Amino acid sequence: MKNPEELGYLEARLELLATARGGRLSPIRSGYMPNWWLPGTVEPILASAALELVDHEELSPGASGVVRIYPFVPEIWSEIGAGMDLKMTEGPRWTVGHATVVRVVPAATPAR
């Protein structure tokens, strides 16, 4: 598997909704692959990305932590930058968390 610097990622502060507020029933772990509503376009874009937990083994509903988001199609994430808020969903309608992007780490450019 490639290392994070080769892939590029977004680092964010993620807050999961509590179950009582409509969030998940169970915790998430690294490898979880939610959908994300991407802001900044006329029509919001629903995009997929893998998640890595940076400061926790797992994150329970209602908890928050630092995560790395690895987009499956990086090109559609090109307008996302530090300070932007993203909705994390399971399917297009069920919002289960909110993330604020802290920084964007671009993919390493291969040597020529």
Domains of the chain, by residue range, sit at 4-105
pLDDT band at 111 (very low <50, low <70, confident <90, very high): very low
CATH C-level class of 4-105: mainly beta
pLDDT at 91 over 90: no
Are residues 81 and 37 in contact, defined by beta-carbon separation less than 8 angstroms?
Answer: no
pLDDT at 60: 98
Characterize the bridge pairing of strands 85-90 and 94-105. Answer: antiparallel
Angle (nearest 5°) at CA 66 between 10 and 97: 85
Residue 86 main-chain phi, psi, to 5 deg: -120, 140
Cα–Cα distance for residue pair 28/7, rounded to 1 Å: 22
Cβ-defined contacts of 84-87 (< 8 Å, 24+): 84/39, 84/40, 85/39, 86/12, 86/36, 86/37, 86/38, 86/39, 87/36, 87/37
Residues 6+ apart with CB under 8 A from 55: 65, 66
Q: Report the SS3 class of residue 74.
A: helix
Question: Whole-angstrom Cα distance, residue 52 to residue 66?
Answer: 9
**Arithmetic mean of pLDDT, 81-102:** 93
The whole-number average pLDDT for the span 102-107 is: 93
Share of the chain above pLDDT 90, in %: 74
The reported pTM is 0.88
Q: What is the pLDDT of residue 4?
A: 54
